[in-house]
Chain A
Amino acid sequence: MIRVESLDFDYGAVRALHDISFEIREGSVVALVGPNGSGKTTLMRSIAGLQTPASGRVFVGGLSVSENPRKVHRQIGFLPDFYGLYGDLKIRHSLEFHAGAKKLAREDAEAAIDWAVRSVGLEFHPHQLIRELSRGNSQRLAIAQAILHKPRTALLDEPASGLDPEARRQLSQLIRSLHDVGMTLVVSSHILHELEEYATHVMVLREGRLVSFEGLSASNEDGRRVIEIRLSEPQTRFAEILGAEAGVSIQRADSQSASIELTGEPSSLLAKLVDEGFGVEHFSTEGRSVQQVYFD
């Protein structure tokens, strides 16, 4: 879906990206990680066709970004790290503007707006102004506007920054739901354990160089994940609750810890355990984690 070949980008005498080459397969969720100034934003903007590199080529959906930037723009949804909204505009009007700007036909625009608003879980009053939205809902609106045209690829630059824990959890769910509808996502973040929840691959950049790009093996070929769970204190109904959950196959379990195989989303199971009032001390998928890849 995204192919990058020998990408170089310079800011004056500073080389921001050094000879970056990789290929992202369709349907992947790539966690783009790296320290500040490692080139994450520059890479994303180059993929989105917002910055033209010094050399190298970028292809999105088979289209060369440098040759067909405008066509690529239509295939991409991009949320910048510092996204902006038209604060004085009504939410509905802003969504209509973005639908019009993406050249959606009037009849398609209504459906697209409804889909995007539903997808991000945004609720608002008909006359509500954007500036009246909370930070979390602003983030949802920004993402809704970015994916309004149902792009095949979404690039989200630091989408979780500034969000409270609840909003971050909802963001994780949103990214998973976008993945479920077949979208290819590249998500950059400093919050590694959250990337864990939805990333299928991790890409590590340091000083403008690609130091690692690998799949996270938590999910087997048949889609089953091996998950380790440990509670803060013993619960007699722990194994029973796990066994009753659809898609769970218990490998080992006692009143305080368990090792299971799961078909489906770990977050749903985690939410179920939390709803039951269990204090979850540890909940991790097996295989190399984003943190392991990053710190290795």
Chain B
Amino acid sequence: MNPELLRNLRLEFSLPRLIAMPVILAVVFALVWFMEMGEAAERLYIGALVVLYVIVLLWGVRKSAGSLAGELANNTWDAQRLSAMSAGELLLGKLVGAASYPLYGAAICLCTAFVATFAFDGASSRQALLIHLMISALALAFAFLVAAVLMTRRMGRTGVSVTLCQIITLLLILYLPFVSPLFVSEEMGREAQTAFEQGSPLLWLSSLFGGNATWYGVEISAFIFRLLTLSSLLFWAILGAIHILRVELQYRSIGWSLAAFMLFCMVYFGGLVYLDFAWITHLADAPSIIRKFYPVTLQGFMVALVLAYLVMFLAPKSENELQRFLAAIGSRDPRGAAVDAPPWLVAVAVVFLAFLAHVVLVAVSPPAQSVLNLDELLGNFDYISNTPLDLVVQVVSAVVSNQSAWTLPLGLFGFCGLLLRDLALLLLLNLGRNSGRADLTALVYLMVLYLVLPGLLYALNSPSSVAYLLPSVRIGAFDAIAVHWLQAMLVTGLFVWRWRQIRAVPHAPIATA
């Protein structure tokens, strides 16, 4: 048997505890059953779900995050890292083992709710239990992932705050299925309001899982869509946790999971904005499929950008890792470089890929005659058409002509410059002696750059100067984009200078006693 699972089960279960949980839950459900309000079976169904979420979100999530945080706090993590257990075994042992007692209670709640549905016409309520099961599993897995991410950031023996993990998990769980517009359609909103006005919690709960969803133009049952979405999120949470555990166990593996997750998010969210944006004038003559993918790639870039900033701040900025990565590049060792590639580098690379995807889409779009006549614009440069240089010429031409089709990609190029500047700033500060506070310091600097300074410039009646500090997609903002990249190069140069300064030590001979 999985030793970590066995250890946790030994800690979690005893005969009195085994008996206590069903007894306490039976008392709670009996109270709900005998309440004088609506149908008893429906009350029991709702009551069981409420208790389920209380157990999972207030208790199970803490146990799940605590399974990792506790190892750090008790200094037992090193022994586990040196064990022969695999990342999968550790994950199973901790996730299921540490939260086994709350899971025991959650299982009783789900069974009670399931049985209660047979006392009323509860086919859809029975079906909805699958969603509740997935949400519960996602909450536990996500809490573990958050704890794992925070663990990678530990400096010295700083612990991981279980409460922080719980708060982050609660925000995600409460946001995703109930509040997010991805899940709550207009139709659902109306149904929920009616149910609320009728004072029927069951109807209100059912309304959350009704309707249809459209993804890449395909209409599917919203229930199936939500189930698939939650399953995907659970998969990524588990994969992310396993990847972090593998890194902790010192496995030498390539971190595909981060890049794959970012691509998944770009594709997933893209499916929700796969709409024919016919009003975009410079795409007027483009085929419908290109017009539909235009917002997909644009949103994909923004999704990648947000995730990249998250990764930049959350991932550890290890000088050792960066040095090994550079050494692998220097010795032309692609596998070594892939293994040691820092997560922030992978994330930034995905942003540039997303940018490239949008540029390619714009490049392959036939220009609207009313807006752009490329032949006229290029004049006697026809010989380079249909070559890779064509794209470069189109970009340059757009710069020269303020062509609107390229305004947005150029704006995104400015975003990329600012991203690089911010990354270089973050890395530079992490090279300092007090690298523990570097991320917080970088956050303050970025707030000054993105909030305080622009505000000051507005106050000084110099709004045009704001474009040099904030990302811009306005026509003719090329000087601002150039300034963005100039800032990126300056800060990167400063980082490279500092990096070289603290390195280069002569080698000593091997000492043998």
Q: Which residues of A contact B (CB under 8 A)?
A: 3-6, 8-15, 18-24, 28, 30, 48-55, 66-67, 69-70, 73-74, 76, 78, 80, 82-90, 93-94, 96-103, 145-146, 201, 203, 210, 213-215
Inter-chain CA distance A70–B83, complex, in Å, is 8
Cross-chain contact A18 with B505 (CB below 8 angstroms): yes
Cross-chain contact B76 with A10 (CB below 8 angstroms): no
- Which B311-328 residues sit within 8 Å CB-CB of chain A? 319-321, 323-324, 327
Cross-chain contact B510 with A22 (CB below 8 angstroms): yes
Q: Which residue of B lies closest to A68 (CB)?
A: B252
Question: B168 within 8 Å of A by Cβ?
Answer: no
Q: Knowing A13-B502, A93-B10, A101-B83 are in contact, say whether A201-B431 is a contact too (CB < 8 A).
A: no
Inter-chain CA distance A103–B78, complex, in Å, is 17
Contact of A103 among B11, B84, B323, B512 (CB under 8 A): B84
Q: Which residues of B contact A (CB under 8 A)?
A: 1, 3-4, 6-7, 10-11, 71, 74-85, 157, 249-252, 319-321, 323-324, 327, 430-435, 438, 502, 505-513
Q: Knowing A19-B505, A214-B513 are in contact, say whether A101-B4 is a contact too (CB < 8 A).
A: yes
Cross-chain contact B320 with A215 (CB below 8 angstroms): no
Min CB–CB distance A150 → chain B (angstroms): 14
Q: Which residues from chain A contact B71 at a C-beta distance below 8 Å?
A: 84
Min CB–CB distance A77 → chain B (angstroms): 8
Cross-chain contact A76 with B508 (CB below 8 angstroms): no
The 26 listed contacts between A and B (C-beta, < 8 Å) are A11-B435, A13-B502, A15-B505, A21-B509, A23-B511, A52-B250, A52-B321, A55-B323, A69-B249, A73-B84, A74-B84, A78-B78, A80-B75, A86-B7, A89-B7, A89-B11, A93-B10, A97-B4, A98-B79, A100-B3, A101-B85, A102-B83, A103-B84, A201-B513, A210-B511, A214-B513
Cross-chain contact A21 with B508 (CB below 8 angstroms): yes
Cross-chain contact B251 with A69 (CB below 8 angstroms): yes
Q: Which residue of B lies closest to A8 (CB)?
A: B505
Query: How would you classify the secondary structure of chain A's contact residues: helix, strand, loop or mixed?
Result: mixed
Q: Knowing A21-B509, A21-B510, A214-B513 are in contact, say whether A101-B80 is a contact too (CB < 8 A).
A: yes
Cross-chain contact B431 with A12 (CB below 8 angstroms): yes
Cross-chain contact B435 with A22 (CB below 8 angstroms): no
Cross-chain contact B7 with A93 (CB below 8 angstroms): yes
Contact of A67 among B11, B252, B323 (CB under 8 A): B252
Given contacts A6-B507, A97-B3, A102-B84, 12 further A-B contacts (CB under 8 A): A21-B511, A22-B512, A23-B511, A30-B513, A70-B84, A70-B251, A73-B84, A83-B75, A84-B75, A94-B7, A98-B79, A103-B85
Cross-chain contact A19 with B75 (CB below 8 angstroms): no
Q: Which residues from chain A contact B85 at a C-beta distance below 8 Å?
A: 101, 103
Contact of B249 among A66, A70, A102 (CB under 8 A): A70
Q: Which residues from chain B contact A51 at a C-beta distance below 8 Å?
A: 320
Q: Knowing A10-B320, A49-B250, A86-B76 are in contact, say whether A19-B511 is a contact too (CB < 8 A).
A: no
Q: Which residues from chain B contact A22 at a C-beta distance below 8 Å?
A: 510-513
Min CB–CB distance A30 → chain B (angstroms): 8
Q: Which residue of B lies closest to A18 (CB)?
A: B505
Q: Which residues from chain A contact B250 at a C-beta distance below 8 Å?
A: 49-50, 52, 69-70, 73
Q: Which residues from chain A contact B508 at a C-beta distance below 8 Å?
A: 6, 19-21, 210
Of B11, B502, B511, B512, chain A has the most CB atoms within 10 Å of the CB of B511
Q: Knowing A10-B320, A53-B320 are in contact, say whether A19-B249 is a contact too (CB < 8 A).
A: no
Q: Which residue of A lies closest to B84 (CB)?
A: A103
Please name the 9 residue pairs, one residue from A and one from B, whose CB atoms are nearest each other, closest first. A100-B3, A84-B75, A12-B435, A101-B83, A69-B250, A84-B76, A54-B320, A21-B510, A103-B84
Q: Which residues from chain A contact B321 at a C-beta distance below 8 Å?
A: 52
Of A6, A9, A101, chain B has the most CB atoms within 10 Å of the CB of A101
Min CB–CB distance B260 → chain A (angstroms): 23
Cross-chain contact B505 with A73 (CB below 8 angstroms): no
Q: Which residues from chain B contact A20 at a C-beta distance below 8 Å?
A: 508
Inter-chain CA distance A50–B438, complex, in Å, is 24
Min CB–CB distance A137 → chain B (angstroms): 17
